[in-house]
C-alpha cells in the first residue's frame, strides 16, 4: 500500500442495508494508484443477484421509512450528511487522489462541492411544492410532485464524488431511495459516502452502494422493475445503450454524456486573459472532463499572438505528484486511458497536424502524458471531431462569426463552452446561437450548484444541479377537486 493511503483504510466491500457486506462470490477488482502504478486496494464486486436484492431492500426502505418521513426530518438528515462530509473531507480527498490521480487540491475542492450540494438540496426540501392552477371548469386544481421510488444512479470515474452527490442528494431530497453504482475504477469515495450518510442518520437501505463493473451490473440496474429512474453520467455510447434498455418498460432516464466543447475567442476580448486561463479549461483533471474546452476558435487577427501566449501558459502548468498541493496536472486514470489518448495523437501525426507543444510521455512512473497543443487540424480529423478525454487541445483560427458558429454546431455534442468578447450584443448573439446546454462568457465556469447543468444533442438529456435536477426525480401529478 502506498504512503498516502496508510492513514486511511480504503473501503473494499459493497455498502448494503447500512453496513459493509461481503459478497457471496469472491470476485474483486484491483485498484491501481495511477501516479505510482501500485495496487492500493482490492474491491469486492457485487453480483447480479446481490444487486437485485439491494434494489428490493431499498424499495422496502422507501415504503416503510423514507417516502413518508416528514420533510423537515429528511432535510435534517441531508444537512447532517453535509456536515459529516466536511468532518471527513481529508480522508475523502486522499482516497480520491490515490484512487484516480486527481491533484489533491482539486480533490479537496470537489469534496467541499459535494458537501455544498447536500446542503443545497437539504434547504430545497422545504421550498419544493406544486401549484394551484385556475382551470376552465369551476373547482380547484392543484399539482403535487411525488417521489418515484428506487432510483439507480450510475456515475463515471472522472469526478466520482461530486457527480455522485449531484445525483444522490436531489434524489433523496425529493423522497426517493438510491442504488448508487460507482465506476469500476473509482468506487472508494462512493462507498465512504454510503457509510457517512448512514452515520448521519440516513436509515439503512435508503442509499445502497454497489461497486462492480457496468457490463455486469448495468442490465439489472436498468431493467429491474422496481427501478423507476436511471440517472446516468458517462460515455455517450453507454448512455445510448441505457436509453435503449430503459425503453423496455419506459423507465425515466437522465443522461449526462460526452462533450467536445468550444472556447471562442474574439479579437475584441481581453484575449490575453483568455490565453492565460484557457489551458486549465481543457487540461484540468488531465483533460478527463466532459466540459473540457478542447476546441479553441480564435479570430484570425490575434491567432498567432494568442497561440504563443496559450502555449507559454501551458508550459508553466505544474505536472507532477498529485499528492503535492502545487500540482495542477496529474496522471491519466489508467494505462489504457493513456493509450486511448495516444491513438488520437497518432492520428493527428498521420494527418499532418502541428504539435506546438507536448505529445510525449514524461520520463517518470505513472500514467502521465504531456499537455499537448495542436494546430493545423483538419475539420474531419478525429482530434477535432471526437471526445479525446485527455490533455489534448486543438487551437484553430476563424475568419467570420457565422461560419465559426456553423463549425461549432457541426459537433454531435453540445455540453459546454466559453465565449470571449467585450461586445455585449455579440456575446448574447453567439450565446443564443451555440447549441450547448451550458455556456460561460469571459470565463470558464460551467458548474454552479444552484444552476442546471446538462447537454444538448448527444451530450445527453435531463439536467443535474439546481431545482431542475430535483424536479427530474419526481412525477408530476395533477388533481382536480369538484366544487
Ligand atoms: P462509461 O460510460 O464507461 O462508464 C460510466 C458508468 O457506467 C460507470 O459506472 C460504468 O461502470 C457504467 N457502465 C458501463 N457499462 C455499462 C452498461 N452496459 N450499463 C450500465 N452501466 C454501465 O464512462 P467513463 O469512462 O466512466 O466516464 C467518461 C465519460 O463520462 C466521458 O464520455 C465523459 O464525457 C462522460 N462524462 C460526462 C459528464 C457530464 O456531466 N456530461 C460528466 C463526467 C463524465
pLDDT (tens digit per residue) in 50-73 = 999 999 999 999 999 999 999 999
Is the Cβ atom of 183 under 6 angstroms away from ligand 1? yes
CA–CA dist 386, 412 (Å, integer) = 9
Is the Cβ atom of 332 under 6 angstroms away from ligand 1? no
| Structure confidence by residue, pLDDT tens digits, 377-403 | 999 999 999 999 999 999 999 999 999
Predicted confidence at residue 322, as pLDDT, reads 98
Residue closest by Cα to atom 40 of ligand 1: 256
| Structure confidence by residue, pLDDT tens digits, 434-476 | 999 999 999 999 899 999 999 999 999 999 999 999 999 999 9
Burial per residue of 353-363, b for 16 or more beta-carbon CB atoms within 10 angstroms, e otherwise: bebbebbeeee
| Structure confidence by residue, pLDDT tens digits, 312-350 | 999 999 999 999 999 999 999 999 999 999 999 999 999
Burial per residue of 378-395, b for 16 or more beta-carbon CB atoms within 10 angstroms, e otherwise: eeebbbbbbbbbbbbbbb
Residues in the chain: 483
Is the Cβ atom of 465 under 6 angstroms away from ligand 1? no
Q: Which CATH number fits domain 262-448: 3.40.50.620, 3.40.1450.10, 3.40.309.10, 3.40.50.1820?
A: 3.40.309.10
Atom of ligand 1 nearest to the CA of 290: 34
Residue closest by Cα to atom 14 of ligand 1: 214
Mean pLDDT of the region 2-19: 83
Rounded to two decimals, what is the model's pTM? 0.97
Q: Which of 29, 99, 156 is the best mutation target for the ligand 1 pocket, counting ligand atoms within 8 Å of the beta carbon and taking the most? A: 156
Residue closest by Cα to atom 19 of ligand 1: 218
Is the Cβ atom of 413 under 6 angstroms away from ligand 1? no
12 vs 30, 341, 441, 473, CA distance in Å? 10, 30, 43, 29
Angle of helix 160-173 relative to helix 89-100, nearest 10 degrees?
A: 130
Considering 256, 299, 370, 387, which one is annotated as catalytic? 256
Evaluate if residue 136 carries a pLDDT over 90: no
- CB count within 10 Å of CB 349 equals 12
Is the Cβ atom of 160 under 6 angstroms away from ligand 1? no
Is the Cβ atom of 5 under 6 angstroms away from ligand 1? no
Considering 290, 291, 383, 394, which one is annotated as catalytic? 290
CATH architecture of 15-257+459-481: 3-Layer(aba) Sandwich (3.40)
442 CA distance to ligand 1 centroid (A)?
30
Evaluate if residue 37 carries a pLDDT over 60: yes
Residue closest by Cα to atom 16 of ligand 1: 214
| Structure confidence by residue, pLDDT tens digits, 215-242 | 999 999 999 999 999 999 999 999 999 9
- Is 262-448 the same fold as 15-257+459-481? no
Asked whether the beta carbons of 314 and 358 are under 8 A apart, the reply is: yes
Asked whether the beta carbons of 50 and 22 are under 8 A apart, the reply is: no
483 catalytically annotated: no
Evaluate if residue 4 carries a pLDDT over 80: no
Is the Cβ atom of 340 under 6 angstroms away from ligand 1? no
Segments making up each domain of the chain, as ranges: 15-257+459-481, 262-448
Q: Which residues pair with 456 in a beta bridge?
A: 414
Evaluate if residue 25 carries a pLDDT over 90: no
156 CA distance to ligand 1 centroid (A)?
4
Q: Which of 157, 238, 412 is the best mutation target for the ligand 1 pocket, counting ligand atoms within 8 Å of the beta carbon and taking the most? A: 238
Residue closest by Cα to atom 31 of ligand 1: 235
Predicted confidence at residue 26, as pLDDT, reads 79
Closest CA to 40 of 6, 1, 91: 1
Is the Cβ atom of 215 under 6 angstroms away from ligand 1? yes
80 CA distance to ligand 1 centroid (A)?
29
Is the Cβ atom of 214 under 6 angstroms away from ligand 1? yes
235 CA distance to ligand 1 centroid (A)?
4
Closest CA to 239 of 189, 168, 290: 290
Q: Which long-range contacts (CB under 8 A, 24 or more apart) does 442-446 make?
A: 442/269, 442/270, 442/274, 442/418, 443/277, 443/418, 444/263, 444/277, 444/278, 444/280, 444/281, 444/293, 444/418, 446/291, 446/416
Residue 318 corresponds to which cell in the numbers above?
Answer: 505544474
Evaluate if residue 172 carries a pLDDT over 60: yes
Evaluate if residue 1 carries a pLDDT over 50: no
Atom of ligand 1 nearest to the CA of 156: 26
153 catalytically annotated: no
Predicted confidence at residue 119, as pLDDT, reads 98
| Structure confidence by residue, pLDDT tens digits, 120-131 | 999 999 999 999
Amino acid at each position: 500500500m502506498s504512503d498516502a493511503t496508510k492513514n486511511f483504510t480504503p473501503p473494499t466491500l459493497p455498502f448494503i442495508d447500512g453496513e459493509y457486506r461481503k459478497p457471496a462470490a469472491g470476485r474483486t477488482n484491483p485498484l491501481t494508484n495511477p501516479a505510482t502504478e501500485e495496487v492500493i486496494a482490492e474491491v469486492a464486486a457485487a453480483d447480479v443477484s446481490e444487486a437485485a436484492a439491494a434494489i428490493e431492500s431499498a424499495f422496502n426502505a422507501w415504503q416503510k421509512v423514507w417516502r413518508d418521513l416528514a420533510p423537515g426530518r429528511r432535510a435534517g438528515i441531508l444537512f447532517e450528511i453535509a456536515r459529516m462530509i466536511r468532518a471527513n473531507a481529508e480522508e475523502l480527498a486522499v482516497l480520491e487522489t490515490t484512487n484516480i490521480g486527481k491533484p489533491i487540491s482539486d480533490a479537496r475542492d470537489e469534496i467541499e462541492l459535494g458537501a455544498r450540494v447536500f446542503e443545497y438540496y437539504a434547504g430545497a426540501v422545504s421550498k419544493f411544492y406544486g401549484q394551484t392552477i385556475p382551470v376552465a371548469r369551476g373547482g380547484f386544481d392543484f399539482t403535487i410532485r411525488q417521489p418515484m421510488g428506487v432510483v439507480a444512479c450510475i456515475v463515471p470515474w472522472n469526478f466520482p464524488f461530486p457527480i455522485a452527490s449531484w445525483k444522490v442528494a436531489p434524489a433523496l431530497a425529493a423522497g426517493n431511495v438510491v442504488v448508487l453504482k460507482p465506476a469500476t475504477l473509482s468506487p472508494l469515495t462512493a462507498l465512504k459516502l454510503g457509510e457517512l450518510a448512514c452515520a448521519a442518520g440516513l436509515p439503512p437501505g435508503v442509499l445502497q452502494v454497489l461497486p462492480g463493473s457496468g457490463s455486469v451490473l448495468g442490465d439489472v440496474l436498468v431493467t429491474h422493475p422496481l427501478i423507476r429512474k436511471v440517472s446516468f453520467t458517462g460515455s455517450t455510447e453507454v448512455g445510448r445503450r441505457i436509453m435503449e434498455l430503459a425503453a423496455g418498460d419506459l423507465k425515466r432516464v437522465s443522461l449526462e454524456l460526452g462533450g467536445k466543447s468550444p472556447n471562442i475567442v474574439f479579437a475584441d476580448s481581453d484575449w490575453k486573459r483568455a490565453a492565460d486561463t484557457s489551458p486549465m479549461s481543457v487540461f484540468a483533471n488531465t483533460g478527463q472532463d466532459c466540459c473540457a474546452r478542447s476546441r479553441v476558435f480564435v479570430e484570425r487577427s490575434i491567432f498567432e499572438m494568442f497561440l504563443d501566449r496559450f502555449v507559454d501558459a501551458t508550459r508553466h502548468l505544474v505536472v507532477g505528484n498529485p499528492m503535492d498541493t502545487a500540482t495542477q496536472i496529474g496522471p491519466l486514470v489508467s494505462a489504457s486511458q493513456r493509450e486511448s489518448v495516444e491513438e488520437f495523437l497518432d492520428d493527428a501525426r498521420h494527418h499532418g497536424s502541428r504539435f506546438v507543444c507536448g505529445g510525449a510521455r514524461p520520463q517518470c512512473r505513472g500514467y502521465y502524458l504531456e499537455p499537448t497543443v495542436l494546430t493545423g487540424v483538419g475539420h474531419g480529423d478525429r482530434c477535432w471531431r471526437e471526445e479525446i478525454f485527455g490533455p489534448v487541445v486543438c487551437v484553430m483560427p476563424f475568419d467570420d462569426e457565422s461560419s465559426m458558429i456553423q463549425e461549432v454546431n457541426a459537433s454531435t455534442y453540445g455540453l459546454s463552452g466559453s465565449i470571449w468578447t467585450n461586445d455585449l450584443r455579440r456575446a448574447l448573439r453567439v450565446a443564443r446561437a451555440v447549441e450547448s446546454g451550458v455556456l460561460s462568457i469571459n470565463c470558464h465556469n460551467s458548474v454552479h450548484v444552484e444552476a442546471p447543468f446538462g447537454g444538448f444533442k448527444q451530450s445527453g438529456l435531463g439536467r443535474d444541479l439546481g431545482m431542475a435536477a430535483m424536479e427530474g426525480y419526481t412525477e408530476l401529478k395533477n388533481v382536480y377537486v369538484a366544487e
